Structure 1
Amino acid sequence: MQKIQAQTNAQRSAQTRRALVVAARSLFVEKGFASTTTPELVERAGLTRGALYHHFRDKGEVLHSVLEEEAREVAEEIEKAAPTNASPVDALRGGSVAYLNAMAFPGRTRLLLIEGPAALGAARMAAIDEGHAAASLRAGLEEAMPGHHVAALTNLLSASFDRAALDIEGGGEKDAIRAAMLFLIDRVVTSPS
């Protein structure tokens, strides 16, 4: 009986946390992080402020959870797009398109590239990215360019991908931007050193 009760409490806790993250994501996309208040957040989630502060230290910690989830979903899309039998260059190309497609999910570009850096700062956003899409990109570059030091290339290409996502979000020509990113990847990994 006690084990069933503990499981029920854990499930309730997970549901409460999930409701807060979903409500926060919605509000941060609609209004932005700075313009969202904690009373609005708990009202949207259908919870109390006590529930919010039981699960999160503050609104910034909620944002961090939202961003981790978004970054994880982007990385999962990248990994799915690169079949295990693909050449390293083809895997990078597939991952490039997958990144841009994943970032086109409504609100994701705003969250990861505008709200996150503004609220959490560049260093914390880099740490989030490092655990997800940047790690995939670095691994792909290391495989495609063995023996090369790829840390700087990873940073520069990550910035290019982010700029491409912002351009697409801003109404840029998606196909042309995608083609440009693929051209850039091809040039980087196939150019003589």
Structure 2
Amino acid sequence: MQEEKRTRSNKSRTDATRAALMKAARDLFSQKGYAETSTPEVVKAAGVTRGALYHHFEDKVDLFRAIVTEEYQKVAAEITASAKDDPKDAIDALRQGSRGFLAAMKDHGRVRIMLLDGPAVLGRAEIDRIDRETSADALRLGLEDAMEAKQMKTLPVQALTVQLSALFDRSALAISEGEDRDAHLEILDAIFETLA
């Protein structure tokens, strides 16, 4: 009984330490960027030791990868949550998803982490893998649904997913720099219509 309590307590401390490191790193990466953030800053902001950092993460890149992955997961959750109303059809579901994506990307720190520093630090292949495992699959499935429902012409779905995903990312970057969100949504809606 005592051993079980100690194990739970150790796990709680471990989870709390990891969460503190992730929060501190996320805040610093989003404010300063990857290159300008040092591991001593992360450790200090988290209120833990340097040894604790390296217990949880191999190095700064490993910590950053965990932050990027968490950001992609949060975006995927926000896209899913954006479908509050039952979409009237597959194209409407894609429209709702695009609004959910752009709403999730309102966070300038998220844009910096996912779209600017992410590819520079981890490389395009690693970012694409993280994207596929978290959110790009939702876009691909939505496109497949629209094609199967004959609401969209049949096209190579993987290539279309890659191209639309790049378009969404560029829109998020432009909006984060002050461009009109509604103008970008109008274009995205028009693209979905032209694919019909």
Contact 1:141 1:150 in 2 (8 A): yes
CA shift for structure 1 position 173: 1.1
CA shift for structure 1 position 185: 2.1
Per the alignment, residue 129 of structure 2 pairs with 127
Give CA-to-partner distance per residue, 1:58-103, whole Å, 9 cap, x none. 0011111111111001001111222584211111100011000101
Residue 45 of structure 2 corresponds to residue 44 of structure 1: yes
AA partner of residue 130 (structure 1): R
AA partner of residue 13 (structure 1): T
C-alpha RMSD of the superposition: 1.3
Give CA-to-partner distance per residue, 1:111-152, whole Å, 9 cap, x none. 100011111010000011001221110000000012643000
Q: 160, 165, 170: which is aligned to 1:163? A: 170
Residue 186 of structure 2 corresponds to residue 186 of structure 1: no
AA partner of residue 7 (structure 2): A
Structure 1: unaligned runs, 5 residues or longer:
none
Comparing 103-112 with 151-160, which one deviates more in the overlay? 103-112
Residue 91 of structure 2 corresponds to residue 89 of structure 1: yes
CA shift for structure 1 position 163: 0.2
AA partner of residue 126 (structure 2): R
Identity %: 44
SS in 2 for 1:47: coil
Counterpart Cα distance in 1 of 2:155 and 2:123: 30
Contact 2:29 2:37 in 1 (8 A): yes
Residue 72 of structure 2 corresponds to residue 65 of structure 1: no
CA shift for structure 1 position 29: 1.2
AA partner of residue 117 (structure 2): E
- TM-score of the superposed pair, with normalisation by structure 1: 0.94
Structure 2: unaligned runs, 5 residues or longer:
149-153
Contact 1:78 1:95 in 2 (8 A): yes
Counterpart Cα distance in 2 of 1:30 and 1:129: 22
Counterpart Cα distance in 2 of 1:72 and 1:186: 28
Per the alignment, residue 110 of structure 2 pairs with 108
Contact 1:70 1:108 in 2 (8 A): yes
Residue 160 of structure 2 corresponds to residue 153 of structure 1: yes
SS in 2 for 1:104: coil
Per the alignment, residue 151 of structure 2 pairs with none
Alignment length (residue pairs): 189
Counterpart Cα distance in 2 of 1:30 and 1:107: 6
Q: 173, 178, 183: which is aligned to 1:176? A: 183
Give CA-to-partner distance per residue, 1:20-42, whole Å, 9 cap, x none. 11111111111110111111110
Q: Detail structure 1 runs of 4+ shifted over 4 Å in the superposition.
A: none
CA shift for structure 1 position 183: 1.4
